């Protein structure tokens, strides 16, 4: 039961990164490349992510509900310590979600489009950064006791390492988005070319920021390496992830973008899995050497049972409709309809 | 600023903002589906025009509701971690079902808003209806979670800890039915009243009258039904509150001393210090009757309870009065319309009736906000009624006023953006010719 719940929690986080990450990346991409000059790219962005936008963001809601219902103690600690970055994330989520909708549904298409686009872009960069900051901070130890303001509510995330993971997440989202858009460009061949050029740049951006993360970790966060390289399964997963770069690069060259997208998704999932396996059963670790494991933080049996039922029914009901949604808007026939 | 005040204000602003979009996201798709249905059935293009306009409104309202709802689910932890630590496993169940309903709603919304070209006509229509049905379901689940705070059940509280947790009993607590029913019905009232008011305005201004009459009449059955049901569900809720939270009822009515044949107070300004009410109208025995269906029933007053457990009497009393006044206004308007329908009169040519609806545009939403004030402020000082105080649940983080400023600025900005977009939409809609032009 607990395993099932942890599994769904992990899956929803991975799906959030893969699906919502791509639409975060869309905003980052627009911000960096001044799409206001490129109307067809804006159209591509809206067509590619518009229909699935709201569904993408449900993964986060699902994760948060599982978190507070299934692991209430950990949720309370997490949201107390990370108050500041979470507020930053929420502001960003609110602004980008509404800016995207405003741009699409504003009845009058005038110069306000530029402002919505700017807001969508800047808040996408902002939110991705703060999400990365929180993720980075979770590799470190959290304060076990509430002492002064700085050491309890600022220090855990105000580190060079966390800021580097923030930049890294921006890069990853950007890269996910471009890969996703490439698989959507069937009817815009001229755009495929320019996005393809950008993919190499953002891949480089991923490597540079990834490098920064490692350097920052080496200098300030030694625990990070043990979080990655301590478990044989984790190491194997990471090796596979690295090796997957070969078919990935090949698939870009041979323009099999759907295949590229799948490979990138697998890489993201493997990195998550590697970290999870190494850390298991620790959910949160503290600076006095203690930690909170999944089973200790878990809600009582009766709650877990109800959560399992709800998730089982939820998955059974939601998945077919989700697949239907993707099929309607992403299948090749629908693309033909779109083109006509 | 003290932490508790900052946290409560942040929560109040966030909830007050979200609820407008949440109820619109619940009811508006149903109105849109009806317009869409009429188009499919009659092929009258006016209905298609309406459907498409309403889709734009829905897109904006849904997105705003979704992000403010996401923020709220995090804010529960940001502001009230101690509460969530205890309550998460107990009242999480309705949230988990709400998650499922909301996920489906989001999928249907994507299919509906972007599906005109891709789906078969009736399949497309069904997805729109799905948005509405899932919206209502998620509303019911979320209110069930809130009702648990008013009527905590499904656990035993021993030494400051919940044991023997039963999430099913918690979800179906004593307050869930009355609260969910009242919320869904009044959501229907608020949204249909606003929609009718807006189209009444265009009819009044003689802008594309036939199109606007069609829009008005789509919302009409929702309005009539909910206006007639609101007093019934309100009465059901009041009797429920009288039983479960006598202190809340006493605050709603500024009822200081326990009394048989208790007075129903209409209006009035409660002077809490001197325990009197200035300027109100008192109807003898009516409070006893409304609370317990017996004019001689005993109604507990505020003085029966320790003063530190009193909710703030003045805001709760005022909010309750505002809510009841608006409910009565809606009922009156509904009765006037029904009378006119029976007399076969063309009430849409009557500018007085049109003006009543124009006045009504914000009223339903004001009543919804007032109702939430009664529920939430009336529960104070408790976050879990009778078990955990709000002051014990607030986050230890200092400087919460900055979170309050941040969220206030955010929601002020979003509120003005949405108003601006709506204004632009109305401006353009005025020029809409309709199919008969």
Burial of B21 (0-12, 13-18, 19+ CB in 10 A): buried
pLDDT of residue B437: 45
Chain B nearest C-alpha distance from A165 (Å): 22
Nearest by Cα to B8 from B391, B312, B414, B406: B391
At A143-160, the pLDDT tens digits run 888 888 888 899 899 999
What is the C-alpha separation between A166 and B175, in angstroms, rounded? 44
Query: For residue B264, what is the enclosing H or E element?
Result: strand B264-266
How distant, in Å, are the alpha carbons of A62, A112, A135, B167 from that of A70? Answer: 12, 44, 20, 12
**Residues of A whose CB is below 8 A from B95:** 65, 68-69
pLDDT of residue A333: 53
Mean pLDDT confidence for A158-186: 89
Q: Rank A253-257, B363-367, B420-424 by mean pLDDT and report only the highest.
A: B363-367
Question: Tokens for A162?
Answer: 């966390």
pLDDT band at B194 (very low <50, low <70, confident <90, very high): very high
pLDDT of residue A335: 57
CA-nearest residue to A328 within chain B is: B118
Residue A96 reports pLDDT greater than 80: yes
Helix spans in B80-175 (H): 81-114, 121-150, 167-171
Q: Is A65 within 8 Å of B96 when comparing Cβ atoms? A: yes
pLDDT band at A36 (very low <50, low <70, confident <90, very high): low
Q: Are B168 and B92 in contact (CB under 8 A)?
A: no
What is the C-alpha separation between B67 and B78, in angstroms, rounded? 16
Q: Is B85 within 8 Å of A80 when comparing Cβ atoms? A: no
**Residues of A whose CB is below 8 A from B417:** 98, 102
Residue B296's φ and ψ, nearest 5 degrees, are -100, 5
pLDDT of residue A331: 67
What is the C-alpha separation between B54 and A184, in angstroms, rounded? 29
pLDDT of residue B413: 94
Question: Tokens for A212?
Answer: 């920064």
At B196-230, the pLDDT tens digits run 999 999 999 888 888 999 999 999 999 999 999 99
Please list, residue by residue across A153-186, b when 16 or more beta carbons sit within 10 angstroms of its beta carbon and e when fewer do: bebbbebbbbbbbbbbbbbbbbbbbbbbbbbbbe
pLDDT of residue A141: 84
Residue B220's φ and ψ, nearest 5 degrees, are -55, -50
What is the C-alpha separation between B295 and B5, in angstroms, rounded? 39
What is the C-alpha separation between B167 and B150, in angstroms, rounded? 15
Q: Is B75 within 8 Å of A321 when comparing Cβ atoms? A: no
Instruction: Parse chain B into domains and list their residue ranges.
Output: 3-258+300-430
CA-nearest residue to B53 within chain A is: A107
Mean pLDDT confidence for A57-86: 92
Angle at B36 between CA B32 and CA B41, to 5 degrees: 150
ipTM score = 0.91
Mean pLDDT score of chain B = 92
pLDDT of residue B353: 92
Percent of chain A beyond pLDDT 90? 34
Measured over the CA atoms of residue A89, residue A91, residue A92 and residue A94, the dihedral's sign is positive
């Amino acid at each position: 039961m607990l395993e099932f719940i942890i599994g769904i929690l992990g899956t929803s986080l991975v799906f959030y990164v893969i699906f919502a990450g791509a639409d975060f990346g869309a905003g980052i991409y627009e911000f960096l490349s001044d799409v206001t000059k490129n109307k067809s790219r804006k159209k591509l962005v809206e067509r590619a992510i518009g229909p699935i936008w709201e569904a993408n963001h449900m993964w986060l809601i699902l994760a948060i509900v599982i978190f507070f219902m299934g692991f209430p103690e950990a949720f309370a600690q997490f949201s107390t310590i990370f108050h500041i970055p979470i507020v930053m994330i929420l502001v960003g989520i609110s602004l980008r979600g509404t800016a995207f909708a405003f741009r699409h549904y504003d009845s009058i298409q005038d110069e306000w489009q530029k402002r919505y686009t700017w807001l969508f872009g800047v808040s996408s960069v902002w939110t991705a950064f703060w999400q990365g900051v929180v993720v980075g901070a979770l590799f470190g130890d959290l304060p076990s006791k509430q002492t002064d303001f700085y050491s309890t509510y600022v220090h855990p995330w105000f580190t060079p390492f966390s800021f580097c993971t923030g930049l890294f997440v921006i890069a990853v989202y950007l890269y996910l988005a471009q890969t996703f858009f490439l698989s959507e460009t069937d009817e815009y061949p001229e755009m495929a070319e320019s996005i393809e050029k950008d993919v190499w740049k953002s891949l480089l951006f991923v490597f540079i920021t990834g490098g920064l993360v490692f350097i920052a970790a080496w200098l300030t966060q030694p625990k990070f390496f043990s979080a990655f390289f301590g478990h044989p399964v984790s190491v194997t997963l990471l090796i596979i992830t690295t090796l997957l770069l070969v078919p990935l690069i090949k698939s870009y060259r041979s323009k099999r973008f759907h295949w590229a997208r799948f490979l990138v998704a697998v890489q993201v999932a493997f990195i998550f899995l590697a970290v999870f396996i190494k850390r298991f059963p620790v959910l949160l670790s503290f600076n006095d050497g203690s930690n909170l494991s999944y089973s200790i933080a878990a809600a009582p049996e009766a709650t877990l049972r109800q959560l399992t039922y709800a998730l089982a029914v939820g998955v059974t009901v939601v998945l077919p409709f989700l697949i239907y949604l993707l099929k309607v808007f992403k299948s090749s026939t629908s693309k033909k309809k779109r083109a006509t | 600023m003290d932490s508790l005040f900052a946290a409560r204000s942040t929560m109040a602003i966030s909830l007050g903002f979200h609820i407008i979009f949440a109820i619109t996201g619940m009811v508006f798709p149903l109105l849109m589906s009806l317009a869409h249905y009429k188009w499919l059935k009659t092929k009258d293009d006016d209905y298609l025009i309406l459907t498409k306009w309403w889709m734009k409104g829905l897109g904006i309202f849904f997105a705003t509701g979704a992000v403010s709802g996401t923020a709220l689910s995090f804010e529960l932890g940001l502001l009230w971690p101690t509460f969530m630590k205890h309550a998460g496993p107990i009242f999480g169940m309705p949230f988990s079902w709400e998650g499922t309903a909301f996920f489906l709603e989001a999928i249907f919304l994507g299919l509906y808003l972007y599906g005109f070209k891709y789906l078969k006509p009736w399949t497309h229509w069904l997805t729109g209806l799905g948005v509405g049905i899932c919206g209502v379901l998620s509303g019911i689940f979320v209110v069930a979670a809130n009702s648990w705070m008013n009527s905590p059940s499904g656990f035993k509280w021993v030494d400051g800890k919940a044991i023997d947790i039963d999430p099913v009993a918690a979800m179906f607590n004593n307050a869930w039915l009355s609260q969910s029913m009242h919320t869904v019905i009044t959501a229907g009232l608020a949204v249909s009243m606003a929609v009718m008011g807006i189209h009444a305005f265009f009819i009044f201004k003689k802008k594309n009258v036939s199109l606007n009459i069609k829009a008005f009449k789509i919302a009409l059955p929702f309005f009539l039904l909910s206006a007639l049901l609101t007093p019934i569900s309100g009465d059901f809720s009041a009797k429920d509150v009288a039983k479960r939270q006598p202190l809340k009822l006493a605050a709603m009515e500024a009822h200081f001393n326990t009394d048989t044949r208790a007075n129903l107070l209409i209006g009035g300004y409660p002077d809490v210090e001197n325990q009197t009410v200035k300027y109100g109208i008192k109807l003898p025995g009516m409070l006893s009757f409304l609370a317990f269906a017996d004019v001689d029933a005993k109604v507990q007053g505020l003085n029966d309870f320790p003063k530190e457990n009193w909710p703030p009497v003045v805001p709760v009393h005022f909010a309750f009065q505002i809510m009841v006044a608006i409910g009565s206004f809606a009922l009156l308007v509904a009765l006037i319309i029904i009378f006119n329908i029976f007399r076969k009169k063309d009430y849409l040519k009557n500018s007085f009736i049109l003006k009543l609806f124009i006045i009504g545009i914000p009223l339903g939403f004001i009543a919804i906000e007032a109702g939430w004030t009664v529920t939430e402020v009336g529960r104070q000082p408790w976050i879990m009624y009778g078990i955990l105080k709000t002051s014990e649940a607030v986050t230890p983080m200092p400087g919460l006023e900055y979170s309050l400023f941040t969220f206030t600025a955010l929601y002020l900005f979003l509120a003005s953006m949405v108003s601006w977009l709506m204004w632009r939409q109305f401006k353009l809609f005025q020029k809409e010719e309709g199919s008969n032009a």
